[in-house]
Structure 1
Amino acid sequence: MKKLKNVRTAALDGLLAIEKNQAYSHLLLHSLIEKNDIRPKDIGLLTELVYGTLQRKLTLDFYLSPFLKEKKKIEDWVRLLLWMSLYQMVYLDRVPDRAVLFEAVEIAKSRGHKGIASFVNGILRNIQREGLPSIEDIEDDFERISIQSSTPIWLVRRFAEQYGLETAEKICMSQLLPPNQTARVNLNKTNVHELINRLKIEGIEATAGELAPEAIKVLKGNVAKSESFQKGYMTIQDESSMLVAKALDIQENEHVLDSCAAPGGKSTHIAEMLSNTGKVVSLDLHEHKVKLIEGQAKRLGLPNIETKTLDSRHVANHFPVHSFDKILVDAPCTGFGVIRRKPEIKYTKTERDIKALSNIQKEILDAVAPLLKPGGILVYSTCTIDQEENSEVIKSFLAKHQEFTHDEKLVDRLPKKVKDYISFGQIQILPHYFGTDGFYISALRKKV
């Protein structure tokens, strides 16, 4: 029991850090594992508790609310402990309720006092006895989807306005599913078949990806810890993200600008496609993030990446016009396409963030446009699914820059499986289409 308590205590600490300090769940998890010396066999439970509770906190609060009849103010950690315990009781079949209750009471005793422990025990036993309120009884569609998918109601309404109610529900529910672990094979060093066999020897089970031809899907094991990863045979990347470099139509010896490049997944993909020719100039605003790009390039054996710490809105001061054959703007965005990887996004981002980010996105596009050679391709991409940051940004850019047009040949460069979703040189992949991240890609060509 002691080790289980350690895992649950660590999970509660993590949830508190996310709630109070707006810590990033994926980064926080690594520090929790190291700080608490969590055993490899317990990492799965820790991950499940943190991500699961966070993903479903609005649902859990709905379930909990009728049992807090006095509506008195309870401390954050107590509410989080109740959510986490309730998550295990509702969603984890392999953990018996008696173990959940025992651990919750022990944590309440050690973190608070006997009175809090008694309160937590009483609430959880009442839930056991009386059962959960029904989400299906909620009459308002927006509220029902919001509670069922644990998505703030303003975001449900926004998705419904942009995609229709039925698709909005699919988007929100699909974001509760665990993300696939996928990697991009470094074709300069190996191929998909060879890497799958190599990983098998290392005890990792993988299969060919479904969207990108150079993708593998990891079924069992952690590739980030593998010797194959350390030797630069692959990069961890979502399959929808792998389509971005494909959209650029990379040819050998080209000069390519990646204007918002960290942590380097797309820069390294472009560099691999250049086959040790040409050059990728990778920019990022923060020096520590530029170091990440450099680390990736070194691990993968890519000498054709040049990095620079620079706000891409100021590129005109550093590069002459017509400097690049291709330009990628993988813009900063709300990240509504990667909620299953970073669940805190749906609770912390606001409509004000969307507006502010769309302005930055337009500024970056305006700044890089003169640097592209006539006839060159500019690709704009985001990991969000909000149209104000995607198609609306491109519409605004094209109205201002008559020298650009939609690149209709994008359809020839992307895999057959996504062709039905491409129109006017752009594609919006929603997270429920292929079980990937939600991603937007637009290819524009500069007129000669």
Structure 2
Amino acid sequence: MTKPNVRFACLNLLTTIDKEQAYSNIVLQKEIEKGAYSDKDKALLTEIIYGTLQRKLSLDFFLEPFIKGKKLKGWVRWLLRLTLYQIVYLDKIPERAAIYEAVEIAKKRGNNTIAGFVNGVLRSIGREGIRDIKSIKDPIKRLSIETSHPEWLVKRWIAQWGMEETEKMCKENLMAPVQTARVNLNRISREEALQKLKEEGFDAEPSPFLKEAIRMVKGSIVKSSLFQEGYVTIQDESSMLPAYALDIEKNMIVLDACAAPGGKTTHIAEKLQQTGKVHSFDIHEHKVQLIQDNVDRLQLKNVAAKQGDSRKIQHLFSAQTFDRILVDAPCSGFGVLKRKPEAKYEKEEQDIRQLKAIQLEILCAVAPLLKQNGILVYSTCTVDMEENHDTVRSFLERQSDYVLDETLKERVPESFRPLVKNGELQLLPHTLSTDGFFVAAFRRR
């Protein structure tokens, strides 16, 4: 197999992510699986893709004086961005080598005229240097450009969280994400899993927060026999919290209303210890297959994965069917920008209002299906108060037989307890360097 050109691959992937609004983590994983990349090239590919996406607004700020508002083809702009990212943010790549690669790619992908333009822009930057972000007088605009978050989003977060927390959050979102995984403790202990990974040449360590979680230091766990044989699955520590919040006991019947790709469904199923049943729904057929693939790989027998819109789920089940219900709702994803940096450029303020309406609709649709004294958990991977706290308030206004469950604090692992207030837990990405995440627990009277 021919060795792929890393920067050419980066350009193709970045234009695909941009045009198709695809998830960077999925696109990147597929490319790594099919390409004959060395470990060094995989690391460089990952660094350039995530780094260029994370720093897009900063890179555009640096580029603007040299392209002076010229209308460029999408791929040419991405080529300039990814090359400038290497020059400005990566120490080990010589500027001359990065420019040479960019010009060669421009010749192959375009023509000599485009190659000449790319060469001219990059060499001018080399001679004149980039402008200083500190020269921006407006503190909100400066933070927006410095950390590459849209200005409307920075303003919104400052209004919700204050300047200091917003600055910490924006800077944390530029950090490389750590791959974390959940060990199925019914099949193997965490110590045995870590030992097995070590024997296979991986470097992993126990999570300081959760007894079933591990953090990868070196290597991707997907390549391990543990993953392939279903002893572990990839999941962030923060998204393991809903299964704790649900207070799962053996033989319970549980509904996971928005379940793909199945991380929380399979965690619930493991906590049931092959008893009871998890009914997992997703609106998209292809995503139901993702749930099923995870269930099969993890060898779980107590999950029924089905396609369906949870807003119309009431006709499928009798009232008070479920002991526990999880609504891990569709959201803006502003808590996982380390893993999906493209999300911060794709959303607009009106999207949040639309998402809140959907979140509330799902919660109200599933509410009659919970048994009395049962627990309903609402979770999102966002830090936005309108999607989180406001949705909770709106739900309680509409459902008089539901109250916030203040015993949530007793159920979550100790490190997260200080973050629980009145049955709600808001985790910002910089609090414990996990994903940003929100959990609310309701009890039906």
TM-score of the aligned structures, taking structure 1 as reference length: 0.96
Question: Does the CA-based 8 Å contact 1:358-1:393 persist in structure 2?
Answer: yes
**Distance across 2 between alignment mates of 1:421 and 1:193:** 28
Question: Does the CA-based 8 Å contact 1:11-1:46 persist in structure 2?
Answer: yes
Which stretch shows the higher mean deviation, 28-37 or 126-135? 28-37
**Distance across 2 between alignment mates of 1:428 and 1:48:** 29
**Distance across 1 between alignment mates of 2:417 and 2:64:** 46
**Distance across 1 between alignment mates of 2:182 and 2:190:** 9
Partner of 1:195: 193
Query: Among 67, 85, 88, which residue is 1:87 paired with?
Result: 85
Say what the alpha-carbon RMSD is for the aligned residues.
1.4
Distance 1:3 1:137, change over 3 A: farther
Q: Report 1:53-202 matches (<5 A).
A: 53-69=52-68, 71-202=69-200
SS of the residue corresponding to residue 433 of structure 1 reads coil
Partner of 2:225: 227
Question: Does the CA-based 8 Å contact 2:3-2:36 persist in structure 1?
Answer: no
**Distance across 2 between alignment mates of 1:269 and 1:364:** 22
SS of the residue corresponding to residue 255 of structure 2 reads strand
**Distance across 2 between alignment mates of 1:31 and 1:373:** 42
Q: Which amino acid is the alignment partner of residue 21 of structure 2?
A: Q
Partner of 1:24: 23
**Distance across 2 between alignment mates of 1:30 and 1:406:** 39
Which stretch shows the higher mean deviation, 12-21 or 336-345? 12-21
**Distance across 2 between alignment mates of 1:191 and 1:33:** 30
Query: Among 382, 385, 388, which residue is 1:384 paired with?
Result: 382
**Distance across 2 between alignment mates of 1:31 and 1:232:** 20
Q: Which amino acid is the alignment partner of residue 365 of structure 2?
A: A
Question: Does the CA-based 8 Å contact 1:180-1:435 persist in structure 2?
Answer: no
Question: Does the CA-based 8 Å contact 1:10-1:36 persist in structure 2?
Answer: no
Partner of 1:439: 437
- TM-aligned CA deviation for residue 34 of structure 1: 5.1
SS of the residue corresponding to residue 430 of structure 2 reads helix
- TM-aligned CA deviation for residue 404 of structure 1: 0.8
Q: Which amino acid is the alignment partner of residue 250 of structure 2?
A: E
**Distance across 2 between alignment mates of 1:238 and 1:203:** 22
Alignment partner of 1:280 is 2:285? no
Question: Does the CA-based 8 Å contact 1:403-1:446 persist in structure 2?
Answer: yes
Partner of 2:49: 50
- TM-aligned CA deviation for residue 77 of structure 1: 1.8
SS of the residue corresponding to residue 387 of structure 2 reads coil
Partner of 2:246: 248
Q: Report 1:394-405 matches (<5 A).
A: 394-405=392-403
Question: Does the CA-based 8 Å contact 1:361-1:393 persist in structure 2?
Answer: yes
Partner of 1:308: 306
- TM-aligned CA deviation for residue 36 of structure 1: 5.0
Which stretch shows the higher mean deviation, 124-133 or 309-318? 124-133
Q: Which amino acid is the alignment partner of residue 386 of structure 1?
A: D
SS of the residue corresponding to residue 389 of structure 1 reads helix
Question: Does the CA-based 8 Å contact 1:212-1:243 persist in structure 2?
Answer: no
**Distance across 2 between alignment mates of 1:428 and 1:56:** 26
Which stretch shows the higher mean deviation, 106-115 or 342-351? 106-115
Q: Which amino acid is the alignment partner of residue 87 of structure 2?
A: M
SS of the residue corresponding to residue 386 of structure 2 reads coil
- TM-aligned CA deviation for residue 300 of structure 1: 1.3
**Distance across 1 between alignment mates of 2:70 and 2:253:** 62
Q: Report 1:274-353 matches (<5 A).
A: 274-353=272-351
**Distance across 1 between alignment mates of 2:298 and 2:33:** 26
- TM-aligned CA deviation for residue 37 of structure 1: 4.1
Partner of 1:357: 355
Q: Give every structure 1 segment of 4 or more consecutive aligned residues whose post-TM-superposition deviation is greater than 6 Å.
A: none
**Distance across 1 between alignment mates of 2:335 and 2:112:** 43
- TM-aligned CA deviation for residue 365 of structure 1: 0.5
- TM-aligned CA deviation for residue 181 of structure 1: 0.5
- TM-aligned CA deviation for residue 10 of structure 1: 1.1
- TM-aligned CA deviation for residue 403 of structure 1: 0.7
- TM-aligned CA deviation for residue 372 of structure 1: 0.5
Q: CA offsets per residue over residues 89-135 of structure 1, 9 Å max, x none? A: 01111111111011011112222222322222222122122222111
SS of the residue corresponding to residue 251 of structure 2 reads coil
Q: Which amino acid is the alignment partner of residue 67 of structure 2?
A: L
Percent identity over the alignment?
Answer: 55
Q: CA offsets per residue over residues 228-253 of structure 1, 9 Å max, x none? A: 11111111000000111000011111
Question: Does the CA-based 8 Å contact 2:283-2:307 persist in structure 1?
Answer: yes
**Distance across 2 between alignment mates of 1:78 and 1:51:** 18
SS of the residue corresponding to residue 377 of structure 1 reads strand
**Distance across 1 between alignment mates of 2:104 and 2:70:** 22
**Distance across 1 between alignment mates of 2:88 and 2:341:** 19
**Distance across 2 between alignment mates of 1:36 and 1:116:** 28
How many pairs align? Answer: 444
- TM-aligned CA deviation for residue 30 of structure 1: 3.1
What runs of 5+ residues in structure 2 fail to find an aligned partner? none
Q: Which amino acid is the alignment partner of residue 48 of structure 1?
A: E
Q: CA offsets per residue over residues 23-82 of structure 1, 9 Å max, x none? A: 22122223433565444431111111111111111000111112224x332222222111
Question: Does the CA-based 8 Å contact 1:211-1:240 persist in structure 2?
Answer: no
Distance 1:33 1:224, change over 3 A: closer
Partner of 1:425: 423
TM-score of the aligned structures, taking structure 2 as reference length: 0.97
**Distance across 1 between alignment mates of 2:330 and 2:436:** 14
**Distance across 2 between alignment mates of 1:283 and 1:81:** 40
Q: Which amino acid is the alignment partner of residue 65 of structure 2?
A: P
Q: CA offsets per residue over residues 185-240 of structure 1, 9 Å max, x none? A: 10110111111001111111111102222100010111111101111111100000
Which stretch shows the higher mean deviation, 147-156 or 165-174? 165-174
Question: Does the CA-based 8 Å contact 1:256-1:280 persist in structure 2?
Answer: yes
SS of the residue corresponding to residue 431 of structure 2 reads helix
